Structure 1
Amino acid sequence: MELAVVSVLGADRVGIVAGISSVLAKHNVNIVDISQTVVQNIFSMVMIVDISKADVDISQLRRELEEEGRRLGVMVAVYHIDVFKYMQRI
């Protein structure tokens, strides 16, 4: 399994989960774990996804998810799990 972290943050609205997960599904990326919450109309979601069978590399996946995020009015960040873990050490 090759994992990545996808985080989404922005004003709550209908379709955020559907929009982000449809990009993942289109590229054969499996959602391994997901957490989401809404606090005072602010939506936040963190997904751990398996990119080992994806038909695009992580850079292309990041670009498409960021584009979908712009369409939805939310910020999207995508990190390989190793990069994410290393960033947390600092």
Structure 2
Amino acid sequence: MKLVVTIVGKDRVGIIAMVSNILAEKKVNILNINQNIMDGFFNMVMIVEMTDDKVKLQDLQKTLKEKGTEINLDIKVQHQDIFNVMHNV
């Protein structure tokens, strides 16, 4: 299943490493990353693929949201199909 991970917040050292480590622990493969920093604000969109049936989307969403909240980032994970429908207006 392909997912879209979005991360937004104030830039700081280690954001990409933190998110990548969580994804690796959950056996989620990163397919594409697009990130930029504007006026000190970090914005990243990742396309990832989750193939391990033992990992549930809701668990991944909860883990990343909680970790993001700890360091003042907004991290969202959506199924790619849902993301596409929401952004094709």
TM range, normalised to the smaller chain?
A: over 0.9
Structure 1 stretches lacking a partner, 5+ long: none
Identity of aligned residues (%): 37
Q: CA deviation at 1:68?
A: 1.2
Unpaired runs of 5+ residues, structure 2, are: none
Q: Give the CA deviation at 1:54.
A: 5.8
**Backbone CA RMSD of aligned residues:** 1.2
Structure 2 residue 87 is matched with structure 1 residue 88? yes
TM-score by length of 1: 0.92
| Partner residue in 2 for 1:17 | 16
Check whether the contact 1:29–1:54 (CA below 8 A) recurs between aligned residues. no
TM-score of the two chains, using structure 2 as the length reference:
0.93
Once the two structures are TM-superposed, the CA of residue 35 in structure 1 deviates from its matched residue by 0.8
Question: What is the DSSP-based 3-state SS (H/G/I as helix, E as strand, rest coil) of the residue aligned with 2:87?
Answer: helix
What displacement does 1:56 show? 1.3
Q: Quote the offset at 1:89 in angstroms.
A: 2.9
CA distance in 2, matches of 1:55, 1:67: 20
Runs of 4+ aligned residues of structure 1 deviating over 6 Å after TM superposition are: none
